[in-house]
Amino acid sequence: MAENVLIICLLWACVSVCECEPAMFGEVSSPQYPQPYPADILEEWDLEVPQGYQIQLMFSHLDIEPSPNCYHDSLIVMSDKKVLRKFCGQNSTDRFHPGDKPIMVSGNRLQLIFLTDDSKPKSHMGFTASYQAVDPKPLLNGGVRFINGSNNEYHSVIEYYCNEPYYTFEGSPNVRYTCSVDQKWTADDSKDDIPPCVPVCGMNTEVSFGGRVFGGMPARPGQIPWQLLHIHPRGGASLISDYWALTAANLVDGHENTEMTWLGGITEENKPPVTMETEKIIIHPNYQRVGHYGFTSNFDNDIALIKMSARVPLGPNIRPVCLPNKTHEPVMEGTMGTISGFGGFKQGLRSKILRYGHVQEYTLDKCESGDLPVTENMFCAGDDVKIVDSCKGDSGSLLFFPMLGYGSKEQPYEVRGIVSWGPERCGNTGSKGFYTKVQNYLDWIRETMANN
């Protein structure tokens, strides 16, 4: 009985201290190497390095009977059930010889299959190769760290993380892998793929109340970090990811093939901005275009997407706003939202600082539209009491919800409207602006971003 106890304890001790496989590196050779390999064999090797690494294979020597398309004897390299390469030959000048170039795949597994026919073997030695774990490109906008243990030991835990508070894993707070007793790196949530880090939207750094755009309150740094500014033509846009921004089609109409420079991360025009150059400008296909100097008589589908030429460096003063969900309720759900921009704030004066104001939604019968058509893709908003209105130079800027000061992690700020058009004179009692209803374009926005 004592002997049995001793055996069990020894086994437990071995499992507890041995390094967790798969290994960080290893070697593999053909049967009988460096002697000639036998005929009529089928050998397979499953090579694996720890999860989160890429596997790299490097041949030290390869001498397999050459034949057209490696018909007779061959070494097949596979990844994810797909054939990557098929090798034979005696030197690096042969078409089917790997030479001195390593083979690397994006995953952490490779399979080798060595197959020979039943012909009498000649003096071909076969192959020998080494494989190793290679640190892949760092997780974009994130990284990896050991939470427990080190050097891939049993019970070690590694965690992938995003650069908070500006990025997060979509639908998951963290991604962890544990080195288990069966010598596998296993994801704690049973998922094999490491999700990308996505920008956190709709968060700002401060809370405030009150103000208006036409003659309104100045914004403080970090309050409206998704606001972008274009100088000429003057207008705004809202950042919705670390590459994309949303604006009005009427602002960028005629500029699709030009490089526009956008400014972000500022509340004052003369402060050093984050400068962004456009890669693509995509106007909604159903918008009635008139070009640079044309005058449109129809603002339906007044929406456009801007893709920047480089990733926008997110920080406390420049962050994206969220897209809304579809709803059949009023755009602002019976309460007030906030508009912002660098447009007019007093009669004839253009603001050099970012201003904001709070507005409510009105039914269309209470909004002055003149001869311009009003469609279901628009809504109007303003404030009769405080004369809050968007104005010239605000075009393309956003109306966001909830009202500034009431956003939270549970209810982040969303872009509900894009400043589109309004009466000739802004800031008059009873005047209200018209906004593009963003929720009507969610499918177009997501499809356009995914395809570009």
More confident site: 192 or 131? 131
pLDDT at 112: 96
Cα distance between residue 299 and residue 301, in whole Å: 6
Examine residue 50 and say whether the peptide bond preceding it is cis (omega within 30 degrees of 0).
Answer: no
Tell me which CATH code domain 142-199 carries: 2.10.70.10
CA distances from 345 to 212, 341, 380 (A): 9, 10, 19
Which residue reads 């296909």 in tokens?
285
For 217-451, the fitting CATH number among 3.40.630.40, 2.40.30.10, 2.40.170.20, 2.40.10.10 is 2.40.10.10
What's the pLDDT tens digit per position in 281-293?
Answer: 999 999 999 887 7
pLDDT at 387: 53
Cα distance between residue 173 and residue 228, in whole Å: 29
Specify which of 23-27, 46-50, 227-231 reaches the highest per-range mean pLDDT. 227-231
69-73, 363-367, 418-422, range with the lowest pLDDT: 363-367
Q: Where are the domains of the chain?
A: 20-134, 142-199, 217-451
The residue type of 150 is S
| Alpha helices (H) in 150-292, listed in sequence order | 249-252
CATH topology match: 142-199 vs 217-451: no
What's the pLDDT tens digit per position in 231-251?
Answer: 988 899 999 999 999 999 999
pLDDT band at residue 3 using 50, 70 and 90 as cut-offs: very low
For residue 17, what is the enclosing H or E element? helix 2-17
pLDDT at 240: 98
Residue 336: helix, strand or coil by DSSP?
strand
The residues, ordered by sequence, that sit 6+ positions from 108 with a Cβ below 8 Å of its Cβ are 22, 48, 49, 50, 51, 52, 53, 54, 55, 133
pLDDT at 189: 63
Specify which of 212-216, 240-244, 404-408 reaches the highest per-range mean pLDDT. 240-244
Cα distance between residue 201 and residue 325, in whole Å: 14
20-134 carries CATH number 2.60.120.290: yes
pLDDT at 37: 94
For residue 47, what is the enclosing H or E element? strand 42-48
DSSP-derived secondary structure for 87-132: E-BSSTTSTT--TT--EE-SSSEEEEEEE--SSPP-S--EEEEEEE
Does the pTM surpass 0.75? The reply is: no
Whether residue 4 has pLDDT greater than 80: no
Cα distance between residue 241 and residue 449, in whole Å: 10
What percentage of the chain reaches a pLDDT higher than 70? 80
CA distances from 293 to 32, 154, 251, 296, 298 (A): 80, 69, 11, 10, 15
Q: How many helices (H) and strands (E) does the chain have?
A: 3, 29
Q: What is the mean pLDDT of the chain?
A: 83
What's the pLDDT tens digit per position in 309-347?
Answer: 999 999 999 999 999 998 778 888 888 999 998 875 555
pLDDT at 431: 64
pLDDT at 390: 52
